[in-house]
Amino acid sequence: MSERTQPVSNRLVVVGQGYVGLPLAVRAVEQGFDVIGLDLDEERITRIGAGDSPVEDITHARLQAALATGRYRPTTDAGDGAGFAIAVISVPTPLREGAPDLSFIETAARSLGAHLTAGACVILESTTYPGTTQELVGPLLEAASGLTVGTDFALGYSPERIDPGNPTWRFENTPKVVSGVDDNSLRVVQGFYDQIVERTVAVSSPKEAELVKLLENTFRHVNIALVNELAMFAGDLGVDIWSAIDAASTKPFGYMRFTPGPGVGGHCLPVDPSYLSWSVRRRSGHAFRFVELANDVNEHMPDYVVQRIIGLLNRHGRAVQGTRILLLGVAYKAATSDWRESPSVAVAERLAALGADLQACDPHVPEANLAGLGLSLVPYGPDALAAADLVVLLVDHPAFDPDEICRTASLVFDAKGMLRGREFSGEIL
């Protein structure tokens, strides 16, 4: 791509305005870009346009300030992004029957390709398997635009590293891995992110960058599976797994702390390692045994939690059927409303199938998000805690006061270790 085809404007399109795309769009506005926030969800776009942020990491005030600049326009019309200099694709990549579903990426690439002009740059951020940027996105852009990747436009990949609810590591201060299909594409991609994050880390190719994201989450997935399986066996060994983890965490090298829980959730951990496993099997014909074993352990943690609940109730002369059970936490992690693939939902479904009378508390998840699950939300507080025959603590939201739970609940199963060191009636995972 020649010098004359370098991006000459600061017009940015961000496709997808969820947990990844909205923080990117708002940060870019704050750094002086003119941003089109594109999403097919009309309800979400209407909400964003009204200054009501659907993402905790972006406050309402910060979103409203971005809108007030006149340089941020949320829209469902892809044509509004015509003439873009940079476009970033940050759309979901779910699994369908164990295989990657890249339909959202494909739709985004075709839509951007229809408005792609010489000198522009397209960057994929969605998590996917190595090869997607060059083997899928590039050809789709070329077919829709009639332009040639590398010659007429730049193309790259930069994995998202959003950690919802993390007040320390935010979008702007988390190092950003960047890549391009050629040297000039890398310069354009890195030059863009250098304007909106504090540090960029260049790698040699989009395939390498795509693997970075999968490696990061597979590392977490496997280690969480390790402590989850240890938690299942610790009782048989006569060991307090939580105390063992605390002691191991004092080692200043060669160890990283992971803790057990009711399973894994969110878009990343239940999905990303399977992308890697699927890609390895497709390319080499071999199974990625670490991933498949971790999947097996983590996917069955909700079953283990339910079995522990059944045992606890039996020891107190009760059956699950007809028991009033209050679930604390529906989101997949603390301080976030993201309940995608949440193990809390899996636990709720299993308990409901056994006839439990279920309610839930979650200060972050709107009840409307749970439509169809048959799970009603009630306000958290002493009344809800006291009314339950059993309280099941599934998410360590800051709003859940351990002392209040111990003081008020008649029986508790704590799947997150929040009540350690306190006196209460019940058990800890």
The CA–CA distances, whole Å, from 159 to 97, 192, 211, 267 equal 24, 14, 9, 14
Task: Please answer whether residues 172 and 245 qualify as being in contact, where contact means their C-beta atoms are separated by less than 8 angstroms.
Answer: no
Buried b (16+ CB within 10 A) or exposed e, 217-255: bbebbbebbebbbbbbebeeeeeebbeebeeeeeeeeee
Task: List the beta bridge partners of residue 100.
Answer: 95
CA proximity to 339, closest of 267, 271, 417, 270 = 267
CA proximity to 23, closest of 338, 345, 331, 274 = 338
Rounded CA gap, 345 and 337, in Å? 13
CA proximity to 385, closest of 334, 313, 326 = 326
What backbone torsions phi and psi does residue 281 show, to the nearest 5 degrees? -65, -40
Vertex 56: Cα angle to 51 and 62 (nearest 5): 40
Active site residue 121: no
Catalytic site residue from 121, 268, 361, 406: 268
Residues designated as active site: 268
